[in-house]
Structure 1
Amino acid sequence: MTLHPLGIIAGTGFYDLDALDDARHEGVDTAYGSVSVTRGTWHGQPVVFVTRHGAGHEVPPHRVNYRAIIRALADLGVRDVLAVNVTGGIDPDLEAGEIVCIDDFLDLTRRREGTFHDGEGSGGVVHTDMTHAYDPVLRREILDAATSIGQPVVDGGTYVCFDGPRFESPAEIRLAALAGGSVAGMTGVPEVTLAAEAGLRYAAVSLVVNPAAGVRPGEPITMDEISEVLATGAPKVLALVDELIHTRSVFRSDDTDASAS
């Protein structure tokens, strides 16, 4: 039984994975540029980890090479990708520290390379369906893992992606709210659409670290506030990821034993 590595992509506040055994850093060259990845095992399962902004958070969201990241993961044999995003809450019912398992997106970016299919080469023009850009099966695995450890997770939400690196204006958040947005972030798109184009199963969990601009009038967004929520929220996200991988490792072990019997 071939074990395809799980791809994990994370951003602000998630710059390494201490849980990885035999971790090794390497560069992967693609047609879209080079990507630094960390490879290792977690509960005996192969994992490829990418931190979007680099280990020192030196790459702003609008300059992340999303095409290279997704291409590198696919080239390394990844079939499933778990993304972790840090976001502001558009939905006023979302509290800082809550986790949302995303099921849709709204792209409000303006200056990003958002496709592998630019009309050149043998592939020509390709129109990829985005109805289930967030894979329902992988989402179910995440939600089941959350239930197993008693971690509350909001089932479903729309990720609204802005270019950044500035925070959004109150008017932009009001517009996003009218369109059904749940959380606001700067990295979820085109990552999710590129994964769909590459044929990867992709799911995302969003850690809400602050109310988005104007949701609570008079309250400015501060990095101190975000860092404080990250300090308590990041371990909850990592515990969820740990349980997801543990569950997958048990399932694969059982499947292998059944095949051998």
Structure 2
Amino acid sequence: MSLQPLGMIAGTGFYDLEALDDARSETVETAYGPTPVTRGTWHGQPVAFVTRHGAGHKVPPHRVNYRAIIRALADLGVRDVIAVNVTGGIEPDLEAGEIVVLDDFLDFTRRRESTFHDGDGPEGVVHTDMTTAYDPALRRELLEAASSIEQPVLDGGVYVCFDGPRFESPAEIRLAALAGGTVAGMTGVPEVTLAVEAGLRYAALSLVVNPAAGVRPGEPITMDEISAVLTTGAPKVLAIIDELVHTRSVFASDEDDA
């Protein structure tokens, strides 16, 4: 049985996947530029993994080539993409270390190449529906995987994307809160919208690593704080994905035996 690879995209704190067997790195050439991809297997399932910021975290969020990443995964035969975002909590009740299974987004970016449809292709102007940009079926797989390993997650949340690389101001976070934002990050858009345009199913886990600016007055945002939360939180995120992949491998094995 030929299996479509599962796409994975991650950023800060997630620079490799130790779970991958037979991991090999390659560069995928696309019309939008080259993208380094690590390919291997996880519980026997093919996986294509991209780290947004590159080796050594050298690419800032506003300069990530999102179009090349999504195009590369699509060209490799990926249908489903699991993304991981490290975020600040906009909602006051969110604690560092909590995980959100996102279901909507707000785009507060200003200077990113955000579409495959520039109007100069044979398809002309295309307006893509984003009502369920985070695929409901793939989200359900993440929720079920988290439940299976008894890892608490928040079912649903709005990702608010800013350009970065600076952190947001308290006023910006207050504006995002008024608009219904749950978490703030710098990489989730246009990644999600490009995935939808490319016909991919996309879902994302958001690891909250700090209260966003001004949510708890007098508490500055520090990289030491973020790194400490990543140390304990990243394994929880990976455990959820591991369970999802394992469940898929069991299902695929049952299908082969049928």
Whether TM exceeds 0.5 here: the answer is yes
Q: How many residues align?
A: 258
CA contact (8 A) 1:101 1:154 kept: yes
1:52 and 2:71 equivalent?
A: no
In the alignment, structure 1 segments of 5+ residues that lack a partner are none
Report how far residue 221 of structure 1 moved. Answer: 0.3
Structure-2 residue corresponding to 1:3:
3
Map of 2:170 onto structure 1: 170
Matches within 5 A, 1:28-47: 28-47=28-47
1:66 corresponds to 2:63: no
Displacement after TM superposition at 1:2 (Å)? 2.6
Identity %: 84
CA distance in 1, matches of 2:6, 2:201: 10
Contact 1:119 / 1:125 at 8 angstroms: preserved in 2?
yes
- Give the CA RMSD over aligned residues: 0.5
Q: Corresponding residue for 1:135?
A: 135
Q: What residue number does 2:191 align with?
A: 191
Q: Quick one: distance in 1 between partners of 2:220 and 2:240?
A: 30
Q: Secondary structure at the match of 2:78?
A: coil
Q: CA deviation at 1:196?
A: 0.2
Instruction: Give structure 1 regions of 4+ aligned residues with deviation exceeding 3 angstroms.
Output: none
Match of 1:181 in 2: 181
Instruction: Determine helix, strand or coil for the equivalent of 1:36.
Output: strand
Alignment of 1:115-130 (within 5 A): 115-130=115-130
What is the aligned partner in structure 2 of residue 206 from structure 1? 206
Task: Please state how far the C-alpha of 1:51 moved relative to its aligned partner.
Answer: 0.1
Q: 5+ unaligned residues in a row in structure 2: which ranges? A: none
1:86 and 2:86 matched: yes
Aligned partner of residue 171 in structure 1, secondary structure: helix
1:193 maps to a residue whose letter is T
Q: What amino acid sits opposite 1:125 in the alignment?
A: V
Q: Following TM superposition, by how much is the alpha carbon of 1:73 offset from its aligned partner in structure 2, in angstroms? A: 0.1
- Secondary structure of the residue that 1:209 maps to in structure 2? strand
The one-letter code of the counterpart of 1:116 is F
Q: Distance in 2 between matches of 1:230 and 1:55?
A: 18
Q: Deviations over 1:115-150 (max 9, x none)?
A: 000001202110000000000000000000000001
Q: Distance in 1 between matches of 2:156 and 2:253?
A: 30
In the alignment, what sits opposite 1:107? 107
Amino acid at match of 2:21: D
* C-alpha displacement of 1:256: 2.2
One-letter identity of the residue aligned with 2:10: A
Quote how far apart the aligned CAs of 1:254 are: 1.2
1:55 is displaced (CA, Å) by 1.8
CA contact (8 A) 1:16 1:55 kept: no
Assess if the C-alpha contact under 8 Å between 1:10 and 1:83 holds in 2: yes
Q: What TM-score, normalized by structure 1, do the two folds share?
A: 0.98
Distance 1:173 1:213 in 2: 7
Give the drift of 1:252.
1.3
| Residue deviations 1:13-43 (CA, integer Å, cap 9, x gap) | 0000000000000000000000000000000
Aligned to 1:159: 159
Tell me if the contact between 1:9 and 1:81 (Cα under 8 Å) persists in the aligned partners: yes
Mapped to 1, the partners of 2:45 and 2:178 lie a distance apart of 42
